[in-house]
Amino acid sequence: MASGSTLYRVAMELCDVDRGVYETLDFRVAQHPSEGEPRLIARMLAYGLLFEEGLKFSKGLSSSEEPALWTHDLTGQLLHWIDVGTPSADRIHLASKRAERVSIVSHLGVEALRRETQRRLIHRAEVVRVLLVDPELVRALALSLARNSEWTLVRNEGSLNISLGGQDFSGALRELPLPI
């Protein structure tokens, strides 16, 4: 954990009907001093929405060469590169060369990502998966953020329902191919 980082503990009941993933997750995530709460929430959501065995948070903002989250096989080969927000077209291009799969969880709206992905040809764009999370949902969750929290995340037919801190939140979740 970097100096000045804030550590968050999340206990998450994951019920992803769309993918058939039902898990009880318990993870910790460090918030970089320059990272805003909405981006932190987007990383937490990415962990739940794309959960698979071996998924880990990277150094994130501390290293420009790493995604927000990733998975590796037993030999250390990068399998899944997961970014949040609006990564540059160059970064997406690089990610699709390095990893078998690339996912972007965007909580900033579609327009900035659309502009960015139209700037250049992206290598293997067909393997890049974009999940658009309702920005209002992310902002509302950020206001309820606590250092220790219990989440229930339900994904079903393009909608997200989240219980956090005794409150219920919901919003849309869209999956789009590149280019957007």
Residue 114: how many other CB atoms lie within 10 Å:
15
Please check the confidence at residue 62 and state whether its pLDDT lies above 70.
Answer: no
The stretch 104-118 carries a mean pLDDT of 91
CA-derived radius of gyration, the chain:
15
Query: What is the predicted pLDDT for the residue at 63?
Result: 66
Condensed to tens digits (0 to 9), the pLDDT of residues 13-22 reads 999 999 999 9
- The residues, any chain, with a CB within 8 Å of residue 35's CB and separated by 6 or more, are 60, 61
CATH assignment, 6-177: 3.10.640.10
Q: Which amino acid is at 5?
A: S
- Residue 176: C-alpha distances to residues 22, 105, 129, 155 (Å): 23, 11, 7, 16
Query: What is the predicted pLDDT for the residue at 109?
Result: 87
pTM of the full structure: 0.94
In the numeric block, the tokens 């965007």 are attached to 106
Q: Which residue has the higher pLDDT, 44 or 62?
A: 44
Query: What is the predicted pLDDT for the residue at 2?
Result: 47
Condensed to tens digits (0 to 9), the pLDDT of residues 74-84 reads 999 999 999 99
Query: What is the predicted pLDDT for the residue at 1?
Result: 47
The stretch 60-70 carries a mean pLDDT of 81
- Residue 14: C-alpha distances to residues 48, 87, 133, 144 (Å): 7, 26, 16, 19
Lowest model confidence (mean pLDDT) among 1-5, 52-56, 66-70, 121-125: 1-5
Per-residue pLDDT band for 140 (boundaries 50, 70, 90) equals very high
Domain ranges, ordered by start, for the chain? 6-177
Closest CA to 13 of 51, 40, 41: 51
Give the residues across from 160 on adjacent strands: 155, 171
